[in-house]
């Protein structure tokens, strides 16, 4: 039931994106580096990626904090962040299975460009790094609950802002002038934009190293921040009854 609803909604959204971009390209001059077929490929692949990237793997932190059961986890001889990561990765794999049927249904509605093996490999690598950045972003947001106990609203806000600024809804190349430079400089671009722009060929192979390097820099920064926040958090834990 849940799975059917999710796949059904994805199909409808693929239909909407096809209608939207077809109408826009029919009446306006196309941007130079993104013809219609690239735009539809971009939007469809972004939607498939969201199946994986919208899983909040560390939601467990928030729940365990609210229920107080995190105290028991902290006493166990395990690395608790690693435990959360494994749990998240498991949920992600489950959702990754949904990508296959979703892709097959989507192909009934739209045609997706098939990249060369080298491009696809670079895309997968960038996607993996983007997954890491997204994971740590969620981790940091959930750790805020150590101080505030509830973060649901704040997290939804960050999610929506990140949908726009990461290039999930529209390619960041559409942002004009200074705004464009700003969104590319933000960490959100590492999540969706870099892998997708590699996929559709806007980032040429000569710039792969630089783009993935920038992603890795964000990944490293977020990882270090997560370690620091986790240390601070676990030393000041308050259990609210449970």
DSSP string for 115-142 = PPHHHHHHHHHHHHHHHHHHHHHHHHHH
Q: Which CB sits closer to another protein, 148 or 205? A: 148
Task: From 57-65, 91-99, 124-132, 151-159, give the range in contact with another protein by CB under 8 A.
Answer: 151-159
| By CB under 8 A, residue 105 contacts another protein | no
Q: Which CB sits closer to another protein, 104 or 156? A: 156
Question: What is the three-class DSSP state of 218?
Answer: helix
Q: Which CB sits closer to another protein, 161 or 221? A: 161
| 74 CA to centre of own chain | 28
14/34 Cα distance (integer angstroms):
18
Which of 156, 152, 159, 160 has its CA nearest to residue 63? 152
| By CB under 8 A, residue 85 contacts another protein | no
**Burial letters 31-42, b for 16+ CB under 10 A, else e:** eeebeeebbbbb
Shortest Cβ distance from residue 171 to another protein (Å)?
Answer: 10
| By CB under 8 A, residue 97 contacts another protein | no
Candidates 44, 65, 92, 153; binder of another protein (CB under 8 A) is 153
Q: Which H or E run includes 46?
A: helix 36-53
Give residues in contact with another protein (CB under 8 A): 1-2, 5-6, 8-9, 12-13, 15-16, 19-20, 22-25, 27-28, 31, 153-154, 156-157, 160-161, 163-164, 169-170, 174-176, 179
């Amino acid at each position: 039931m849940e799975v059917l609803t999710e796949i059904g909604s994805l199909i409808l959204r693929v239909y909407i994106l096809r209608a939207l971009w077809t109408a826009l390209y029919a009446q306006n001059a196309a941007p130079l580096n993104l013809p219609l077929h690239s735009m539809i490929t971009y939007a469809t692949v972004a939607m498939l990626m969201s199946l994986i990237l919208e899983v909040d793997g560390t939601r467990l932190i928030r729940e365990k904090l609210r229920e107080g059961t995190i105290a028991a986890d902290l006493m166990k001889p395990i690395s608790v962040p690693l435990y959360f990561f494994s749990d998240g990765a498991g949920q992600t794999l489950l959702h990754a299975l949904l990508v296959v049927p979703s892709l097959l249904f989507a192909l009934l509605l739209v045609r997706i460009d098939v990249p060369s093996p080298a491009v696809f490999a670079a895309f997968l690598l960038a996607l993996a790094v983007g997954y890491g950045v997204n994971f740590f972003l969620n981790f940091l947001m959930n750790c805020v609950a150590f101080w505030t106990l509830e973060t649901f609203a704040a997290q939804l806000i960050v999610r929506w802002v990140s949908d726009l600024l990461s290039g999930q809804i529209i390619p960041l190349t559409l942002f004009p002038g200074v705004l464009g430079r700003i969104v590319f400089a933000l960490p959100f671009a590492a999540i969706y934009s870099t892998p997708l722009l590699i996929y559709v060929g806007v980032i040429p192979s000569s710039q792969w190293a630089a783009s993935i390097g920038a992603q890795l820099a964000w990944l490293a920064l977020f990882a270090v921040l997560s370690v620091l926040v986790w240390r601070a958090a676990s030393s000041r834990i308050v259990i609210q009854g449970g």
